[in-house]
Amino acid sequence: MKDICSLSLTELRAAIARGELSAGAAACACRERIAAENEELRAFISLRESAAGEAEETQHGALWGVPVAVKDLIDVRGMRTTAASRVLEDAAPAEADAECVRRLQAAGAIVLGKSNLHEFAYGGSGAISAYGAARNPRDRRRVCGGSSSGSAAAVAAGLCFGALGTDTAGSIRLPAACCGIVGFKPTWGAVPASGVIPLAWSYDHVGPLARTVEDAGVLYTVLAGELPRWEDCKALRCGVARKYYCEGLAPEVEAGFERALEAVRGLGWSLHEVEIAVSEDRKVSNAESWAFHEKWVEERGALYDPGTLPRIVNGKKVRLEEYIEKRRELELTRERMRAGVPGVDIVLTPTSPILPPLLEEFSGPEARTLELKMLRNTRPFNVLGWPAVSLPTTQMGGMQVSAGWGRDWLVLSAAREIERNCFERSR
């Protein structure tokens, strides 16, 4: 058998079910890998000492014995939720699990610990954390992407078999692309966000990061509380959004995306140029972030990172009338685009226009500009609320597959078909 930590989640489940591996052995293997790698990678902020013991006790469910990580923005009973910020460094342990965590554990998953992130999820690089920035396992000089940086690093480095992330402007899909794994943002509201520290309620999504699309689908089944509905993808009409989404691509990203499109043609699917224009106004998200953080800013403002605080306080400038107007515009946009792009089944774009930058590039005044560039292609699908998945086209780049509301299984099924027929899986 392959090294335990190199198995996919699906392979691990099968090995445990056949009796070839114990759930405890999988948890212990992950803990050993974490002990060897985490000091440099900084993927985990905290670990659960009881994880290995719980693995031996768990003998049921779709995720029986599968070790996972939970972004430290999400409550796990008995553990602090720090949001990678000094603001919450003295927080009391959570008294209850977030609903998404409860569902994972009810299905037999073993929560190894809490993964690192960009402070309060307020950034696309992952470079700001009170516990040190997570490093990219593909190139440890580079960022993981954010904000679910530690979740992506943990999965890519074999420290766990899947992870929970949150996505407000790309925070699942971007780090997945940067670390060469799969990240899935479901339809807005498909996975409960109760027990999750919000960034902006109107855009926040909870979803899985995994090594394969199949693995992401298994996790999504549990998170959404539904049976798997993989679809037979034949003769799909694929929209390719080149305007805006394919402008200014890094050469490696462009080459990977074009290779992917050629492979998609090889599946017998047709490609059609489409345009998707989405407002870049951030008044709604800024106002919602300020509404949540106001009490902490007043009490503990000095504990925020200097790179985070001004962005949160910026939301104070949004007038109530402006928020109401922009929130209504958001609803109208989602209603108008709910079914997706007319004439096509799915939409394809590069996940990010650039490869993950070096960590040192985020120490200067251009850090925010660089983050916005990284998030350019992912944020529109948070505005629309569509499901979108990123699968790797290079070691540190990805293709994004999306579709209209409720088409989660079409998106996953199409991505799985592309993955199976177009790319060699690399871990």
Tell me if 331 is assigned to some domain.
no
- Which pLDDT belongs to residue 427? 37
Tell me if 91 is assigned to some domain.
yes
Tell me if 313 is assigned to some domain.
yes
Quick: pLDDT tens for 316-360. 999 999 999 999 999 999 999 999 999 999 999 999 999 999 999
Domain holding 298, by residue range, is 283-326
- Which pLDDT belongs to residue 191? 98
Q: Which of 171, 289, 390, 402 is catalytic?
A: 171
CATH number of the domain at 177, please: 3.90.1300.10
Tell me if 396 is assigned to some domain.
yes
Does one domain contain both 27 and 60?
Answer: yes
Does one domain contain both 58 and 117?
Answer: yes
Known catalytic membership, residue 171: yes
Residue type, 185: K
Cα–Cα distance measured from residue 18 to residue 22, given in angstroms and rounded to the nearest whole number = 10
Closest CA to 108 of 43, 187, 197, 17: 17
Does one domain contain both 351 and 386?
Answer: yes
Cα–Cα distance measured from residue 72 to residue 200, given in angstroms and rounded to the nearest whole number = 17
Residue whose pair of structure tokens reads 């590039």 in the numeric block: 361
Known catalytic membership, residue 8: no
Cα–Cα distance measured from residue 177 to residue 163, given in angstroms and rounded to the nearest whole number = 15
Cα–Cα distance measured from residue 59 to residue 263, given in angstroms and rounded to the nearest whole number = 41
Does one domain contain both 356 and 291?
Answer: no
pTM: 0.97
Of the candidates 268, 302, 326, which is a domain's last residue? 326
Residue type, 26: A
- Which pLDDT belongs to residue 268? 96
Does one domain contain both 80 and 168?
Answer: yes
Cα–Cα distance measured from residue 177 to residue 287, given in angstroms and rounded to the nearest whole number = 29
Does one domain contain both 148 and 18?
Answer: yes
Tell me if 382 is assigned to some domain.
yes
Does one domain contain both 129 and 19?
Answer: yes
Does one domain contain both 235 and 136?
Answer: yes
Q: Which of 71, 114, 185, 283 is catalytic?
A: 71
- Which pLDDT belongs to residue 49? 85
Query: How many domains are there within the chain?
Result: 2
Peptide bond into 147 cis (omega under 30): yes
Does one domain contain both 163 and 244?
Answer: yes
Residue type, 5: C
Of the candidates 291, 326, 361, which is a domain's last residue? 326
Of the candidates 292, 326, 360, which is a domain's last residue? 326
Tell me if 352 is assigned to some domain.
yes
Q: Which of 85, 115, 147, 390 is catalytic?
A: 147
Known catalytic membership, residue 185: no
- Which pLDDT belongs to residue 422? 75
Does one domain contain both 210 and 302?
Answer: no
Q: What is the dihedral sign for C-alpha 417, 403, 216, 257?
A: positive
Does one domain contain both 308 and 410?
Answer: no
Tell me if 2 is assigned to some domain.
no
Tell me if 334 is assigned to some domain.
no
Tokens of 163: 């992870």
Does one domain contain both 73 and 152?
Answer: yes
| Residue stretches of the chain with pLDDT short of 70 | 1-2, 51-59, 423-427
Quick: pLDDT tens for 6-27. 999 999 999 999 999 998 999 9
